[in-house]
Structures are given as C-alpha cells and as structure tokens.
Amino acid sequence: ASGDLTIGYIADFPNASVFAIAEDQKLWDAEGLKPDLKVFTNGPIQIQAMGAGSLNFGTIGPGALWLPASGRAKVIGVNDIGFSDRIIAQPEIGSIADLKGKKIGVPQGTSGDMILRLGLAKAGLKLSDVQIVPMDPSTVVAAFSSKQIDAAGLWYPLIDVIKARVPNLKELIGNKDFYPDTSFINTYVARNEIVAQDPKLVTSFIRVMKKAMDYRVANIDRSVELTAKFLNAPLQATSNVAHSRKMLTSKELEGFAKDGTVDKWLTQFNTMFKEFGMLPNPLPPAQYNANDLFIQA
Amino acid sequence: MSSTDSAAPPRPGGFLTGRLLGSGSAMLGINIVAVVLGIAIWAAITSLGVVGLPGPMEVLRKGVELAGSALLLSDALASLGRVLSGFLLGIAVAIPVGFLMGWYRIARGLIEPYVQFFRTIPPLAIIPLAIVTMGIGETPKIFVIFLAAFLTSVVATYQGVITVDRTLVNAARVLGAKDMTIFRRVVIPASTPFIMVGVRIGLGSSWATVVAAELIAAQSGLGFRMQQAQLYYDLPTIFVSLIAIGILGLLMDRIIIAIDRALTSWQEKA
Amino acid sequence: MSSTDSAAPPRPGGFLTGRLLGSGSAMLGINIVAVVLGIAIWAAITSLGVVGLPGPMEVLRKGVELAGSALLLSDALASLGRVLSGFLLGIAVAIPVGFLMGWYRIARGLIEPYVQFFRTIPPLAIIPLAIVTMGIGETPKIFVIFLAAFLTSVVATYQGVITVDRTLVNAARVLGAKDMTIFRRVVIPASTPFIMVGVRIGLGSSWATVVAAELIAAQSGLGFRMQQAQLYYDLPTIFVSLIAIGILGLLMDRIIIAIDRALTSWQEKA
Amino acid sequence: MIPKISFQDVSRSFELAGQKSFLALDKLSLDIEDGEFVTVVGPSGCGKSTAMNIAAGLITPSSGSVLVDGAEVTGPGPERGVIFQQYALFPWLTVRQNVEFGLQITGMPRAKRREIADRFIQLVGLGDFANSLPKTLSGGMKQRCAIARAYAVNPKILLMDEPFGALDALTRVQLQDQLLQTWSQERRTVMFITHDVDEAVYLASRVIVMASRPGRLHRIIPVDLPYPRTEEMRLSPEFAALRNEVWRSVYHPAEH
Amino acid sequence: MIPKISFQDVSRSFELAGQKSFLALDKLSLDIEDGEFVTVVGPSGCGKSTAMNIAAGLITPSSGSVLVDGAEVTGPGPERGVIFQQYALFPWLTVRQNVEFGLQITGMPRAKRREIADRFIQLVGLGDFANSLPKTLSGGMKQRCAIARAYAVNPKILLMDEPFGALDALTRVQLQDQLLQTWSQERRTVMFITHDVDEAVYLASRVIVMASRPGRLHRIIPVDLPYPRTEEMRLSPEFAALRNEVWRSVYHPAEH
Ligand SMILES: Nc1ncnc2c1ncn2[C@@H]1O[C@H](COP(=O)(O)OP(=O)(O)OP(=O)(O)O)[C@@H](O)[C@H]1O
Ligand SMILES: Nc1ncnc2c1ncn2[C@@H]1O[C@H](COP(=O)(O)OP(=O)(O)OP(=O)(O)O)[C@@H](O)[C@H]1O
Ligand SMILES: [Mg+2]
Ligand SMILES: [Mg+2]
C-alpha cells in the first residue's frame, strides 16, 4: 500500500536531491509507488518517528548513524559521501597543534563533532587538551564570527556564512584528509519492522533511489536546480553544498556493498562511537545493514 | 479605552488619568513611535556592520519576496492554526482545572505538583515523548502548544480563584447558589483579571513554543521556515519568520485585551 | 495555611473551608499521594514495555549513580545559580517596569509592543544574538533566563497595577502621598497577588529556559547534562535531569508560595 | 412550638494576630418565634454581625449551635435572606441582574424573573438605574440594590445587618413601613440590626440589647405597641419611654 | 475675605451605559467661610458625594470650578482631609499603620508618629485593636479607623462623607462632641455629609439642603444656635423647629 511509503528527509542537497529528482523524473510512477514525503530538521527525530511507527524510510547523516548501530533502525544503502566538514580556526591559528588550550565550538553529535575528534586525534591531542564548548550550529556561526571561539568543527554551507565575515579563516582539516578509510556517509534508513515484513517495498524504494543517484551523477547542475526549487532554497548555497560532496553511481555503490567496503565504513563509525563514549556496545554492521537488499534491488 | 471607561470620573492632575494622552488613537500613536524608534535603532546598529545582522531593508526585501511567493501566507496560516488550536484548548482546560484547584483542596494537592513540575520542563524535552505517543501528525504539535498555554494559564486561574472576595461568594450562597453556580457566576467573573494575565502569558508561550512544535515533522509554518533557514543560516528569512510570529502574537494580544476590557468594564480601575 | 489565616472564620459545609482537610500537613499528605500515584502509573506503563521509556527504578539507579559521582550536585548547583540570578534579576526589573507601564501611558505605549513581541520569540532564537553581544560566559545564559522571567512577570505586574482599587489610591492621595509613595505603599501591596502570579509563572519559564541557555557553551548544568544525554539517547540520564529540574523548581515554588502567604495574609481570601 | 431561630449557647472567638484569642460572642442564647420581628442593638463591635452571620450559616460558632426550624444550621440557604453590612453587590452585574441573581437560581423563567426584579427595583426607587453597574451608584443606591436583591427571593427569614444605615431619612421611613407591611402580610421572621434606637423600637416586637467585651446578650426589651405601627405612635409617650429604656440599657448597662 | 472653599457653578455629568449622559450635579454655587462648619443633607443620589469629591480634587467637574483659598483645585492635598463614604482603609496595614500613613508621608519621626496615632486610636476607641488588620474589624470599627486616619494629619479642611453612619448612638454623640470641640479650638473648616437631620442641625452653622434630579443646591438653612452646642440644646424647641424645617425642605422641597 502506498500509505506505507512514508519518507523522511532533511531539507538540504545531499538528503533531498534524490527525492527532487525522483519526483521530477517520475521515478516513483515506474514502481507504481506514491511516496508520502515528510521534511525533518535532523536525523534523530526521524529515527524517533520510526520508533513511534510514524515513518518507514529516511535519510540520515553520519552523526545519527549510532542510532541504527544501537538497533533502532536499519541502514538500507549509502546515499553519498560528505566532504563538507572542516575544522576551522581563526586566522592567527596555524595548525591543529596550536589548538591546545583553545576554545573550540562544536555542535555535539554531528559530523562536525566527528571531524573535530578525528582531527585532534590525528594531531595527537586529547579532548581534554582543548576547551570544548558545545553549542548548536547557528550558535557556532554567531560565536565564531564574533570571535568568541578560536576554532570550530563545522560544515558547509555554514562555513560560507562565516567566511563572509571572517574571510581569512583557516581550514585546518577536512573529510578528504580521512577518505577513503573514514567516509562521512549519508545513508538511507528504514524502520526495523518494514525491513522484516515488507522487503519488497524496501527494494522498490532502493530502486528508485538508485535511478535518482545515477541521474544525479550524470546531471549535477540540473539536480542542483531541481533541488533548490524543491526546497525553496537559495541556488548558490545549494550548488556549493552539492559540489562539496562525493556522489557515486549505483554501480559503484553496489560494488562497495558487495566487497564489504560499506560494512568497513560502518565498523569505522562503530569504533568512533565507542571511543567517543556514545555507544559502549554497538551492533556489528551485519546486524543493522541490509546490504543484500541494496545489492538485490 | 472602552466606552464604559469614559464614564469613570477623570481625576485631575495626578494618578494615571492626569497623564493620559486622551484617546486610544493617541495610544496607537505612541505604539507607532515606539516601533519606528525600534526599527531606527536596528537600522543604526546594523548599518555599522558590527554584529552581522541583516538590516531592516534587507529583511523587508526578503519579507516581500516570501510574501510574493505566497510562502509567507501559507506558513503564517499553518502556524496560526496550530497556535490557535493549542492555545484555545489550553485555556479551555486551564480554566476549569484552575477552578478545581482553587476550590477543592484535594484537587489542588493532586494536580499542583504536576503543574509545577511540567512547567519547568522545556517544550524541546517533551517532543520525543510526544512523537512516541502521538506520532508526527498535527496532534503532537498542537499538544506541545496546548501544554505551554495550559501550564501558564492554570497558575493564573488558580491564583484568581483563591483571591476571590469571600463576601461575594457568601452573597451568592445566601441567595441559594450551589458550587456550580458560584463557579460560573461569581468565581469566573471575579477572577477574570487574573485569568486574563494567564491568557496573555499563555499566548506568548504558545507562540514561543510553535518553533519547537514545528520540529515535529512540520511541512510548513513560520517555525518550520525558521529552522529551514537555520540550515543555511539565512538570517533575513529567520528575521522575517520571527517578525511574522511577533506581529501575529501582537495582533492576538490586542484582541485579548479588547475582550478583557469588555469583560472587566465593571471594575473600578485605577 | 499561615497562622494569620486561621483567624478567618471557618465557613461551614460549603465553599472551600468546608472541604479543607485541615492543616498544611494534610496538604503535604495529598501531595505525597499524588507523587506516589504518578510514579506508580509511570512504573505500570513502562513495565508493559510499550513506550520504550525507562522505569522509575532504572531512573532511580541512574540518579543514585550520578549523585554518587557528585555530577548531579555540581550540575544542580550550576543550573540553580543561573536560574536564581536570571530569575531574581528578571523579577527585580519587571516590577518597576510593570509599574511604569501601568502608571504612565507613554511608558506603556513605548514598552508594551516590545514586551509582547519578545514574549513570542523562543529563547533558542535569542541565543545567537546573545552570544554575539555578550560572549560565551555566564552573562548570555543568565540574560536568556532573565528575559524569560522578565517578560512573563512584567505582564502580570502591569495587569496588577491597572487593577488596583481606585479608592485606595485616592485615599493615599488625600493623605498627601505623591506618586512614589503611592507606588511603594499602595500599588505594590495591592497588586501583590498579581505580581505573585507573574513570579510563579516566571519561575517556571526560567527553569524551562535553563536548558536552552545551557546550549550556550555550558560546561555543566542540568540542561547541559540533558543535552549530552540526548546525544546518546541516554533516557535515564535525561529523566534524572528533568526530575532534578522539576524538583528544584517545585522547591522554589513552595518558597514563593510561603512568601506570598506572608505578604497577602491581609486579604480576605475565599 | 419550635422557635423559628434558636441560638443555643453560641460562642465565637477569633485569633488576633500574635495575641491570645478574642471572644467576639459569649454564650448567646435567644429564641426568635416564627413570624416575629426582632431588632438587635448594641455598641459597635459587640458581636451583632457575628451573631447574624452564624445564623446565616456563614460563620461556624466556636461552641453552641443555631437551630432553624429545629434543625442545626450547617450552611447558608435561600430560605434565610441576608442583607450584608457591606452590601456585597456583584460588581459585574447591573442592578437588575443583581436583583435577578437569586431568582435565576430557582430556575424561574426569564419574563417572570424580570417582572419580579423590576417590581423590587421600583420599590427601592432605583427604576431609572436598572441597567447601571454598581460602580456608578451612590452609597445609598448600592444599599437599596442589596435590599431589593434580598427581598426578591422572598425568604421566610430575613437577616438584615444595618440595612437602612446609608439611606436618607425619608427613604428610610418609607422602607421601614414597606418592610413592616410585607412582614405582617406574609408572616416573615426578621432579625434586624440597627444603630438607630428609634428604628429599633418602631419595627420590633422585641428589642435585643447586646453588650460588649465580651459580646453578649444584655437585655430583651419587649415592645408592647400594637401593629400596624404608625407615624403617630412615634410621637407617643409610650414610644418615647421605650426609646429611653433601650437607650439607657445600651449605654448604661450597669444600671439596667 | 476670600471664602475657604468656593464652589462656582460646578456641574458634573456621567455617561450612563448606553444612555445619554446623566447630570449628577447641576451648577452648584456655594461659599464656605474659613472656620465654618456646614453640613450637607439631601436625598440619596442627589450628588453630595460627587460635590465633596470635586472639592477633594478626586473628580474633575464637567464645568465650573472649586476654589480653595482662592486657588483652583487641581488635585488632592493633605490640607484637605477626606473621610470616604466607603472607608477606604489599606487592607494590608494594621489600624495603627493606617493611622500613621499620612504622618509618615510628612516625614515625621517614628516615635512622634506613633504617639499621635495612638492618641487618635484611643480617641475613637480602638485602643485594643491597634495591631489588628481591617478585615478583623466590625463595620463601625472600620469607620472609626478611617476617622482617626483623617484626624491624625490635622488638615485645615475636613471633608467628611457620612462619617458616623455606621456608629452606634453613644459613640456617635461622643464623636460629634469631640469633633465640635476640636473644630472650635483649632479653627477648622468642615463640610460634613449626613442623613441624620438631628446630627445636621446639631453640628452646623449652616445646613446645606440639596435636591435631586438633577442634583443641585436647594436651600441653605442657617442654624442660629450658639456654640458650644450642648445636649440640652438638642431638647430645645428652637432645635426641634430647625429640625423640622430641614426635614421639610429635604422631603417636601416644592413647599419650601
Ligand atoms: N474575621 C475576624 N477576625 C478577628 N476578629 C473579628 C473578625 N470578625 C469580627 N471580629 C471581631 O469580633 C468583634 C465583633 O464584630 P462584629 O462585626 O460582630 O461587631 P458588630 O456588633 O457587628 O459591630 P458594628 O456595629 O461595628 O458592625 C469585633 O471586635 C471584631 O473585631
Ligand atoms: N462613576 C459614576 N458613573 C456614573 N454615575 C455616577 C458615578 N458616580 C456617581 N454617579 C451618579 O451620580 C449621582 C450622585 O451620586 P453621589 O454619590 O454624589 O450621591 P450622594 O448624594 O452621595 O448619595 P448617597 O447619599 O446615596 O451617598 C447618582 O445618581 C449616581 O448614580
Ligand atoms: Mg456589624
Ligand atoms: Mg454619597
């Protein structure tokens, strides 16, 4: 039944572009599906809505991956890989090592948080070597712009906003410095029950997503336009985001699924969650990643 | 000022009336001066460019743009619908509950700890619970707003009830009034000034909560639009949403004040 | 009930007193019954396992654990300090401003639109602005709480001022009182019941806002702890924080009620 | 025959702030027969209002009890109409709505209610102010509105606390005669507090004299003038003698 | 000599709800000399309180003006003490604090204030209730507290609105004599509203008779009895004649 195809997404390019494309290209019709799209502001709320039975599918960023890893939902495929997260610092700071003792603003539990932790670890710093100041994303923008903090773990397009006021800010490290070992994957997720009870619906969903992703790789500018229109979002900012990401074709993704790369990425995240103290006992990826459904679709 | 109010003797040169500037239109004039002043200050601050805030012109441009695309209207209507439902429901429940609390000590003892407890809990913390129990439709959104309106109004109503002049209650009782009649015909009118405080504060809370409520999978609404804008740190849109919320809240407040005037014109106000 | 209250003639078998269960200890008893009842319902719901919430025992265990590590105490103290400062400051400013608004029409016309406007704006939206202007220390946190307390109390105070019985103001004036004396010695005591409504609602808002305030770069505090826990979906810790906030709020409310009783024992309460 | 109202050893004390308790009424015992008109006089603060409020069921006695028709009073009831010393009008209702209040409670239809209310509003001379709010009335007009409100519900017992105190002399005399007339026609029982010795004698079949510190019954002075009372009677030597007797027993209680 | 209080063509109308405006006071002109004691009588609702509140500076006239010592009244002042018909005690203050209120405003030191307050509290017989709150007082006690409060500030002009209406006869006589004595000793100007014709004649050098609909000055009746007034005078035929004259001009204005 089409009522079962309730889909959550976040109103930005990586999460929404596939739905904008699917709608424009009438990809749902091909599967005989009528999606019921619902916009959310973040991943965890989508997982909560799944827990309440109000949502069957969704897209989440890496920051919310610990939720499937703790059994609250299933990963049913990779969407794209983010390259928009950075550790940024005020102009006078030269390197990550200089961050010792400095105030660093970070929205906790987000990909900004992860890049910060990874970056510090790479430079041999412990969290306790710096002053972590938790704040929400727009507060980071305000605080960094007004020079209340020395550095931040944040992402584009918010960094663009800061750049307008602090043009010579330093980007100390970014996702590409950890790729491909650690990939900030954006994933499709589905409610546990729907995966168990209606795998056909899940594969239909994945098929549409695969077609959309292939279209996206082939027609990136058109995709940006479609998405900007779909979201009522500014075109330039959307385009900037789009170009800061690594988008893969369905063939490539199927390959990563088959050869265990996806599970490896997920394991990588599990390790991080354990280190961060967020999740003491994450499930092994095999238990929450519906790899075969993705391959099969 | 209501028309009945003008029947009150003006008192010369002193308390209040002596300082009245006359009619309601004078009041409106001062309001406008205040708003113009506020905008001027805002323009001055932002034109200095220090704080990185958008200026009034920029926000106005964005507002016109959003209004042109009919987005602003649909957002405003969506939020207004939620706020009205949640707010009216909150008031409608708060008044009888406030009375029960003021009237029956057992009710007070049972309800008060919870009212007080839930008032200290931010709406954001209620949201997961609301989603779990009510899903992601309109219900949990309206519920969060309802809760905000209810929890503030109930305290005011309750205080109003226990402040009612005892001699009026006695006068009703010797005329044969039973509890229900005393409720309806003595306690409610006598505590109207208090209830109105609750209603006005409740209205503010309702609007302040709509942003949190629209975190729950809203597809439109001023709070929703604001959150979307936050993804891009689109300050002009954030300001347009905030100002739209403020203006709608202000208009509703004016309506409440007008109702209040009509309901309490019997009072000998200072 | 205060000792002075007992001087009021008990009225037989009817309104209020007839239903009083006696002393304050009886009231406490009902409160305890209410709390026990609430916990029982909570335990019953969670033991069915449907909603996925932690049960009272689990939360208690977590509470003991947090209390043991002294985290709970330091968090509670941090939040309490912020709430107390912001709240007291808010009340202290709201009372004179409310009076100005009630007294001088110009003040009302200038201030009221802004009070009403800012009341509809969620604290979360104020935070970035507070950071820009006040940095990330304690100041912006206290400011946000201050704003919440101020905006609710000022409405109540203002309503109280305009509701003051005119004959009492006149009585003071014919005895030679000027505006300041009337303020202090007539309007303040006469509007105490209203001010108390504002204070009580303001207290709730202050606590509800502390979570938002502790979004601003807090290093400890119950709201901060709650957000940390939210990242990990650590429901027991969230509940411990919420309950700690609720209990502290409740205790402060009891203190306010006691003060209110002392201040308004002159009233002939129903 | 059972008395209509029977005070039996009624005492009432109040806690004074900080001090020991204050005895406002000390063992009042008094029977008022069915259809009797008694007036109560006594110095300010001697417990007159307290006694009346106990009979009205609005104050509980500290000890003793009040029986009405042989049954203990446990609360107010519409068969006992009360006119309060402080009027107690509902400020949000007009004069007419105030007067209709008690009638509405009985479920009387609108038209009937209005007819009765208007009759009593006319009776107290407020015809032109039926739609006025209490805040726009003069002191005497407020008091008359309270009188009309109590009369309208047609109670078997009337408890009146200085009901004519704020009225000018002419209105007062008119309302006195009016009250006496209704009382004799419809066999009401009236307990009427007044400071006007003349009024006390003119209306009552017995004048209850109370004394203060503690508030208590001092003397009962029977008024042996026939009903209906007339203006001439006021000028009679018997009346003057009774007036003097009441006056002296109020103000020189030691001698009487 | 300039009159102490001069009403000059004072009118005051009120809007009645929905209706056309209501003329409560119509062109009142009246001069009260320095040191004079006038009483004001008239039917309920004839504008007595309105006139007094205008003199007090609490109501503005719709037209005309009131001069005090030749200067137009624009607001209240402590030189004009007012006793309100509805007492208007501060409910959150004790009897003593109420009485001290006006003294405190003048900045009088605590001990002095207390001494004066206690003197007036004794004068009105509330000695035992100095620490009581108004809600614990009887009607007459509240009125006496209001009297003490107005006396305490020692105003040159006293505007008294039925000040003794809720008092028992003895207390009333005592306070009348007390007031007359202070008035003559300290040369006060007093405007005193009463419904008690006896009281009006006993106290006044002129009785102002007002009429209603519209509220207006009807007649001024000079009282040619010498001061100090005594209890015997009350029984004199001249007194009786004056009383009758006042009565008749209040209640049969057409004939007088
Ligand atoms: N609620 C109360 N608390 C304390 N004392 C009270 C209260 N009510 C009345 N009293 C005291 O009881 C006494 C009797 O009061 P009551 O009102 O019965 O007097 P009263 O005879 O009606 O006097 P008045 O003629 O002045 O109205 C007074 O001394 C009064 O102070
Ligand atoms: N605020 C007001 N609004 C409308 N009408 C008023 C107001 N105050 C007084 N009045 C009217 O003015 C008239 C005169 O009132 P006022 O109080 O002066 O009478 P009064 O002579 O003092 O009567 P009483 O002896 O009953 O106290 C009354 O008819 C009253 O209804
Ligand atoms: Mg009394
Ligand atoms: Mg009057």
CATH topology of domain C55-263: MetI-like fold (1.10.3720)
Express each pLDDT in D42-73 by its tens digit: 999 999 999 999 999 999 999 999 999 999 99
Cα separation, D73 vs D59, whole angstroms: 10
ipTM of the complex: 0.84
Distance CA E119, CA E123 (A): 6
Out of E130, E154, E178, a domain closes at E154
**With bands split at pLDDT 50, 70 and 90, how would you rate the model's confidence at B147?**
very high
Query: Are E226 and E103 in a shared domain?
Result: no
Q: Which residue of D has its CA nearest to B170?
A: D58
- Structural domain boundaries of chain C? 14-53, 55-263
Write out pLDDT tens, residues D18-44: 667 889 999 999 999 998 999 999 999
Q: Are E83 and E144 in contact (CB under 8 A)?
A: no
In a domain, E160, yes or no: no
D165 lines ligand 2 (CB under 6 A): no
Chains that touch D (3 or more CB pairs under 8 A): B, C, E
Does residue D161 sit within a domain? Answer: no
CA atoms within 13 A on the CB side of B37: 11
C125 in contact with A at a CB cutoff of 8 Å? no
Q: Write the pLDDT tens digit of every residue in D225-249.
A: 888 888 888 888 888 899 889 888 8
Q: How many domains does chain E have?
A: 2
* CA closest to B245 among chain C residues: C120
Higher-confidence residue of A6 and B125: namely A6
Evaluate whether D162 touches D128 at the Cβ level (below 8 Å): no
A144 CB within 8 Å of a chain C CB = no
The CA distance from B267 to the nearest CA of chain D, in Å, is 7
d(CA E208, CA E217): 7
Residue whose structure tokens are 């004390």: D13
Asked if B174 and D101 come within 8 Å (Cβ–Cβ), the reply is no
Ligand nearest, relative to CA of residue E53:
2
Cα–Cα distances in angstroms (integers) from residue E69 to residues D61, E40, E179, E207, in the given order? 55, 20, 22, 21
Inspect the interface and report whether the beta carbons of B9 and E14 lie closer than 8 Å.
yes
pLDDT exceeds 60 at position C256: yes
E225 CA to centre of ligand 4 in angstroms? 27
Q: Does the distance separating the beta carbons of E16 and B12 come in below 8 Å?
A: no
Distance CA A201, CA A74 (A): 14
Q: Are D173 and D256 found together in one domain?
A: yes
For the record, the structure tokens of A289 come out as 């990643």
Residue E163 falls inside a structural domain: no
Has residue E202 been placed in a domain?
yes
User: B–C contact (≥3 CB pairs within 8 Å)?
Assistant: yes
Domain's final residue, options D154, D181, D207: D154
- Residues on chain B touching A48 (C-beta within 8 angstroms): 128, 131-132
With b for 16 or more beta-carbon neighbours within 10 A and e for fewer, the E76-105 pattern comes to bbbebbbbbbbbbbbbbbbbbbbbbbbbbb
Provide mean pLDDT across the span E65-90: 91
Closest-CA residue to C91 (of C32, C159, C157) = C157
Q: Is residue B174's pLDDT more than 80?
A: yes
pTM value? Answer: 0.85
**Per-residue pLDDT at C8:** 33
| Shared domain check, E243 and E129 | no
Angstroms from D107 CA to nearest CA on chain E:
28
Band (C91; pLDDT cuts 50, 70, 90): very high
- Cα of first residue to Cα of last residue in chain D, in angstroms, is 31
Phi/psi of residue A89, nearest 5 degrees: -145, 160
- Put simply, the answer to whether C189 touches E102 (Cβ < 8 Å) is no
CA distance D213 to C35: 49
Average pLDDT for C151-165? 89
Q: Does residue E159 form part of some domain?
A: no
One domain for residues E74 and E96: no
- E179 and E53 share one domain: yes
> How far apart are the C-alpha atoms of C4 and D103, rounded to whole Å?
37
Same domain, D22 and D49: yes
- Encode pLDDT of C4-60 as tens digits: 333 333 333 333 333 333 456 677 788 788 888 888 888 888 777 666 678 888 888
Which 3 state secondary structure label does DSSP give E19? coil
**Where residue B114 falls among pLDDT bands split at 50, 70, 90?**
confident
Determine, yes or no, domain membership for D163: no
Q: Which chains pack against A, by 3+ Cβ pairs within 8 A?
A: B, C
- Among the atoms of ligand 1, which is closest to the Cα of residue D195? 25
Long-range CB pairs of D117-122 (<8 Å, 24+ gap) are: D117/D148, D117/D152, D120/D148, D120/D149, D120/D151, D120/D152, D121/D95, D121/D96, D121/D145, D121/D148
D132-178 confidence digits (pLDDT tens): 899 899 999 999 999 999 999 999 999 999 999 889 888 888 899 99
Task: Tell me if D195 and E167 make a contact (CB, 8 A cut-off).
Answer: yes
Residues 39-78 of A with CB under 8 A from B: 39-41, 45, 48-49, 51-55
**Residue ranges making up the domain that contains D199:** 1-79+168-256
pLDDT in tens, D103-133: 999 889 999 999 999 999 999 999 889 988 9
Residues with CB under 6 A from ligand 1: C 7-9; D 14, 22, 24, 44-50, 85, 215; E 135-141
The minimum CA-CA distance between B5 and chain E, rounded to whole Å, is 9
Interface chains of chain E (3 or more CB pairs under 8 Å):
B, C, D
Interchain pair C11, D12: CB under 8 A: no
CATH code (residue E38): 3.40.50.300
Which residues touch C246 (CB under 8 Å, ≥6 apart)? Answer: B116, B117, B118, B120, B121
The verdict on residue D162 lying in a domain is no
**DSSP secondary structure, B94-147, as one string:** HHHHHHHHHH-HHHHHHHHHHHHHHHTS-HHHHHHHHHHHHTTSHHHHHHHHHH
Which residues on D lie below 8 Å from C14 (Cβ)? 57, 75-76
Task: Report yes or no: B172 at the D interface, CB cutoff 8 Å.
Answer: yes
In this structure, are residues A158 and A256 in contact, taking their beta carbons and an 8 Å threshold? Answer: no
Q: Is the pLDDT of residue E256 over 60?
A: no
Decide: residue A43, CB within 10 A, 0-12 exposed, 13-18 middle, 19+ buried: buried
Q: How many helices (H) and strands (E) does chain C have?
A: 11, 0
By DSSP bridging, strand D37-41 and strand D206-211 are parallel
A148 token code pair: 């209340």
Nearest to A154 by CA among A122, A97, A113: A113
B4 close to E (CB below 8 A) = yes
Q: CB of B7 closer than 6 A to ligand 2? A: yes
3-state secondary structure of C85: helix
pLDDT of residue D247: 85
Burial letters for E50-66: b for 16+ Cβ neighbours within 10 Å, e otherwise?
bbbbbbbbbbbbbebeb
Do D172 and D250 lie in one domain? The reply is: yes
pLDDT of residue D18: 61
> Do C176 and E102 make contact, defined as CB atoms within 8 angstroms?
yes
Q: How far apart are CA B166 and CA C269, in angstroms?
A: 6
The bound ligand whose nearest atom lies closest to the alpha carbon of D137 is: 2
Residue D160 falls within a domain, yes or no?
A: no
Those residues with Cβ within 8 angstroms of residue C108's Cβ, 6 or more apart along the chain or in another chain? B27, B30, C100, C101, C102, C158
User: In angstroms, what separates the C-alpha of B213 from chain D's closest C-alpha?
Assistant: 39
CB distance D40 to D208 below 8 Å: yes
Question: What pLDDT, on the 0 to 100 scale, is given for residue C117?
Answer: 85
Chain A residues whose beta carbon lies within 8 Å of the beta carbon of residue C227? 108, 134
Q: Which of E50, E87, E196 to mutate to test the pocket of ligand 2 (most atoms within 8 A of CB)?
A: E50
Nearest CA to ligand 1 atom 5: E136
On whether both E75 and E92 belong to a single domain, the answer is no
The reported pLDDT for the residue numbered A204 is 92
- pLDDT for res D256: 53
